[in-house]
A and B are shown apart, each in its own frame.
Chain A
Amino acid sequence: MSQGRRAGEPGVNAIAGWWARAPWTLRWRTLALPRRRQIWAGVLLAVGVAFPSLVGSAGYVDAAANAFTYVLLALGLNIVVGFAGLLDLGYAAFFAIGAYGYGIAASGQLKIPWSDVWKPLLWLGQVQRVPIEGGPDLVQLQISFWAMLVIGATICALFGVLFGAPTLRLRGDYLAIVTLGFGEIVPVVARNLDWLTNGAQGLGGVQTPRLFGYEFGFSPYPYYYLGLALVTVAIFISFRLQESRVGRAWMAIREDELAAGAMGVNHVHFKLLAFAMGAAIAGFGGAFHVAKLTTATPEMFQFPVSVMILVMVVLGGMGSVRGVVLAALLIASLQSVILQELSLWVNAVGRSIGSPWLARVQLITSLELIFGFILVFMMLFRREGLWPAVRRVAALTRDQQAALPTRAAEVSLSWATPAPRTGPARPLLEIQGLTKRFGGVAAADGINLTVDAGELVSVIGPNGSGKTTLFNLITGLTGRDAGTIRLGGEEISGLPPHEIVARGVARTFQNIRLFNNLSVLENLLVGEHTRLRAGALGAIVRPPSVREEERRAVESALEVLGLFGNRLIPRLEHPVYGLSYANRRRTEISRAIMTRPRLLLLDEPAAGMNPAETLELMDLVKALRGLGITVVLIEHKLDVVMDVSDRVIVLDHGVKIAEGKPAQVRNDERVIEAYLGRRRRVA
């Protein structure tokens, strides 16, 4: 690859060629991605473990240990902002809660009179009984750091849910403001609740952690290794979550919340989970930070801290775990090492050229200025961050691009059972008196209709006749004013969209709504969401059951993509924003099929396709019907509709004006009138 670009540099070319042909390079290329990652992780961890002996200076080890706090915070915020797309401007609040949590539990701050309730904890060595002259004995908390790591993270997660819950319905920038509000309130409370936090002076004398009798004390080395362990765990959690049902659900919400709901993602649950996970990691960071500093003051958690963490995430690339870690280390070393060393150098230069300003300048004071420039420059010139999350995918080869489209030899899906074409009709979808008004306009006005299992029904009508509204009502995206919708005899009206999907209704959108920054495969896997069980814990631990369901999900996705022959399979790993229009339509239809629907609602699937592609698609739709999937189609290409449908329903101004076999409907006086206008009567 590089040969073409560097043709003019024979030296570089020769080295590059030698490197590319070297045995280790060839061996490395043959390794599977997970294996390569394990090797990278092993190498980095070895470097991390060896770092203190490599630098040999306690100052640097101390700086690195402090940096780990920020790496933890950045990883936590990355879950909220990067994965789930929820801009949290008050993230330092969780840092504060985690920090004060450990600080209060491991210092003499609380003055609790002694009573026998504390005896079990005394026996466990988690409290001390302090005799006070001339008064009742007091309890002094000295809860173990390790216990507080877990308890603190849990408390933070609860606060994450508490602060996240009000923001669920809010759009991005409003959400940011509400989180900013919480971020302001927490330090003010910390400053004002003297009995709990010791106010503006802050907590003092927090005990340091102890492990099997080993006292951490004030040497930076044990904190360095503790921080390294916590960061390793947080990175592991981040990667595992990212590549799981949970991570895909977050990213789906980030890309298109409405489409995510229509694919079965419960956005309330997953947004709160993101807040809770992000907050829990901040809780780790807080406890670690306070254990190392042995103090906590309100100033440590102000707005600029939230912004600093945001700068790390923005600089590294929102959603990019490796990028965020790198950026956090960079910013932390900028703060603790680079700017100070640079200042010394600049001051020396200033003295030698006789400039008193240069001789005195402290570059560390311009740290926030640098943050400001980073934010502006990244947003203007490189929004995806220094090391973006989106993997670069090899472009299709010329052969692949030029390959003739093939079609699936036989349309089959392992989970679908071809419906018997005989026997009495069983109604699958029954709608009665369905009404929806927008202001004075009735987009659906007392619609009654029934779709039998295994049928292929088209809904047609002029623009604004309420076709898409009908789909929105069935899928729960729009609430109804009156009427009932039943699926297989069960009432589904009033259910949220994700539950309707789970009951077997899937849809596509008129103006394609894919998750643009996710790959074709990931888009399809979101469609599988309701079939998978893994929660956050399952995603992190990845037990055999989760591995198995992931493997089956990928198999299922390949099977569905196979319906489109070689159209999508070679583009499996490509982000969908780069696909052609027709291929995006196909991806969206595949994603809907992935939910294993009983009822598939296709909203103008052939829009923007050429006649050949339209025919191909309609053959597929007919084949799906043959597999027992009931299909309702909104379509404007009337010849298409007349050709494939068993039955046609015509809407006009939210009213069903005709229904029947295509041939009947074609000649219906009212339909012609709706489409072409009233025939003028000749007097």
Chain B
Amino acid sequence: MSVGEVLLQQVVNGVALGMMYALLALGFTMVYGIIELINFAHFSVFMTGTFLGLMVLHLFGFTGSSAALTGLPLVGMLLVIFPVTMALTGMLGVLIERICLRPVRGISGTAPMITTIGVAFILINLVLMIWGPQSKPFPKIIPDRRWAWGNAEITLSQVMLAVAGVTLMLGLNYLVRRTALGKAMRATAQDMDAAKMMGVDIDRVIVLTFFLGSALAGAGSLFFGFYYGFTAFYIGYTTGLRAFTSAVLGGIGNVPGAVAGALIIGLIQALGGQILGVKWTDVIIFSILITVMVFRPAGLFGMQAPQKA
């Protein structure tokens, strides 16, 4: 393969990865936008989501050795698995908000963030206790079909990732921009007290934000499983931090920015790994995180500074 083709291949891979990060980054950014909380538990919700998805697949009789589906059965199966898994992770997010985060809401300082670290540790270790430390194979229900593009190739799962990801993001955009709930969310993000006085049910808005963010993370979980073909208790941290970096890059709290940031991080991971070696990927990504935080805390596309005095 020529250098150009290698790069093309990495761009394809990077965009696919970026889609997955975007789904996760949206959850970070939505929660931060509304209650200014960096939610470490989101990492673990994503990780738990892969196991919940696995559980749902098992319920439908798919195991690691099941044959791939094709045609209508495949589409139908995905249309069932995605909503069910997303509903489950969404409910997990709601539980976390309701039990652990609502009591510390409004407390200034680092208490809410420390709480989310605690929740993350609890989730990781519960998964570890229930499913054990070994990585679990993910059923390959998406057939391994590839299309050549020069010498680079694009797989069916990448295409489906992109299609499903774009669909979900458009849905989210519609919800935030065009519905009464979206208007309530935007109002709450601007000024929680004022929104409350105007009759917005803050608790409901926040719960729904956690539900949506966690449900999107659940979709990301399934993508992870189908894309990498396995899951394990430790996958949440690295993937989550990369998604978080995406959200920061796009300006945390900025929904379209998170998607753009995720695509950039996906590309950086794919291309940077190619150029400097995979072992330095994390150093590159965290250096980006630190640099953006320090020099452009509002993100690459952020309009207003997120730091309130």
Interface residues of A, Cβ cutoff 8 Å to B: 85, 87, 89, 166-167, 169-174, 176-178, 180-182, 184-185, 188-189, 191-192, 303, 307, 310, 314, 365-366, 368-369, 371-377, 379-380, 383
Residues of A within 8 A of B237 (CB): 303
> Does B77 lie at the interface of the complex (its beta carbon under 8 Å from any beta carbon of A)?
no
Inter-chain contact B118/A383, CB cutoff 8 Å: no
For B230-251 the 0/1 string (1 means CB < 8 A from A) is 0000000100010010001000
In the complex, which residue of chain B has the Cβ closest to the Cβ of A380?
B103
Given contacts A173-B113, A369-B126, A379-B104, contact A181 B286 (CB under 8 A): yes
**Alpha-carbon gap, A374 to B121, bound state (A):** 10
Inter-chain contact B38/A166, CB cutoff 8 Å: no
> Does B120 lie at the interface of the complex (its beta carbon under 8 Å from any beta carbon of A)?
yes
Inter-chain contact B307/A174, CB cutoff 8 Å: yes
Inter-chain contact A170/B125, CB cutoff 8 Å: no
Partner of A372 from the list B111, B125, B279 (CB cut-off 8 Å) is: B125
For B84-120 the 0/1 string (1 means CB < 8 A from A) is 0000000000000000100110010111111101111
**Alpha-carbon gap, A85 to B110, bound state (A):** 9
Inter-chain contact B100/A380, CB cutoff 8 Å: yes
Besides A173-B36, A376-B122, 16 other A-B contacts (C-beta < 8 A): A169-B294, A170-B297, A173-B110, A177-B248, A184-B241, A192-B280, A303-B237, A314-B114, A368-B124, A372-B119, A372-B121, A373-B122, A375-B118, A379-B111, A380-B103, A383-B107
Inter-chain contact B113/A87, CB cutoff 8 Å: yes
Inter-chain contact A366/B104, CB cutoff 8 Å: no
> Does B190 lie at the interface of the complex (its beta carbon under 8 Å from any beta carbon of A)?
no
Partner of B279 from the list A170, A191, A365, A375 (CB cut-off 8 Å) is: A191
Residues of A within 8 A of B100 (CB): 376, 380
What's the nearest-Cβ distance from chain B to residue A432, in Å? 28
Residues of A within 8 A of B114 (CB): 87, 310, 314, 375, 379
Residues of B within 8 A of A376 (CB): 100, 115, 118-119, 122
Inter-chain contact A185/B293, CB cutoff 8 Å: no
Identify whether the interface residues of B are mostly helix, strand, loop, or mixed.
Answer: helix
**Alpha-carbon gap, A380 to B107, bound state (A):** 11
In the complex, which residue of chain A has the Cβ closest to the Cβ of B37?
A173
Inter-chain contact B120/A372, CB cutoff 8 Å: yes
What's the nearest-Cβ distance from chain A to residue B121, in Å? 3
**Alpha-carbon gap, A307 to B100, bound state (A):** 18
In the complex, which residue of chain B has the Cβ closest to the Cβ of A166?
B294
What's the nearest-Cβ distance from chain A to residue B234, in Å? 11
**Alpha-carbon gap, A188 to B281, bound state (A):** 10
> Does B80 lie at the interface of the complex (its beta carbon under 8 Å from any beta carbon of A)?
no
Partner of B294 from the list A170, A369, A373 (CB cut-off 8 Å) is: A170
Inter-chain contact A172/B125, CB cutoff 8 Å: no
Residues of A within 8 A of B112 (CB): 379
What's the nearest-Cβ distance from chain A to residue B241, in Å? 7
Residues of B within 8 A of A191 (CB): 279
What's the nearest-Cβ distance from chain A to residue B65, in Å? 28
In the complex, which residue of chain A has the Cβ closest to the Cβ of B36?
A173
**Alpha-carbon gap, A189 to B280, bound state (A):** 8
Inter-chain contact B287/A374, CB cutoff 8 Å: no
CB pairs A–B below 8 angstroms (17 shown): A85-B109, A87-B110, A173-B110, A177-B38, A180-B241, A188-B279, A188-B282, A191-B279, A192-B280, A192-B283, A310-B114, A368-B125, A369-B125, A369-B126, A373-B122, A375-B114, A375-B118
Interface centre among A85, A173, A181 (most CB of B within 10 A): A181
In the complex, which residue of chain A has the Cβ closest to the Cβ of B107?
A383
Inter-chain contact A185/B38, CB cutoff 8 Å: no
> Does B197 lie at the interface of the complex (its beta carbon under 8 Å from any beta carbon of A)?
no
**Alpha-carbon gap, A26 to B237, bound state (A):** 57
Partner of A185 from the list B110, B122, B126, B283 (CB cut-off 8 Å) is: B283
In the complex, which residue of chain A has the Cβ closest to the Cβ of B252?
A174
Residues of A within 8 A of B168 (CB): none
> Does B129 lie at the interface of the complex (its beta carbon under 8 Å from any beta carbon of A)?
yes
Inter-chain contact B293/A380, CB cutoff 8 Å: no
**Alpha-carbon gap, A177 to B293, bound state (A):** 9
**Alpha-carbon gap, A338 to B33, bound state (A):** 43
Residues of A within 8 A of B248 (CB): 177
Partner of A172 from the list B109, B123, B279 (CB cut-off 8 Å) is: B109
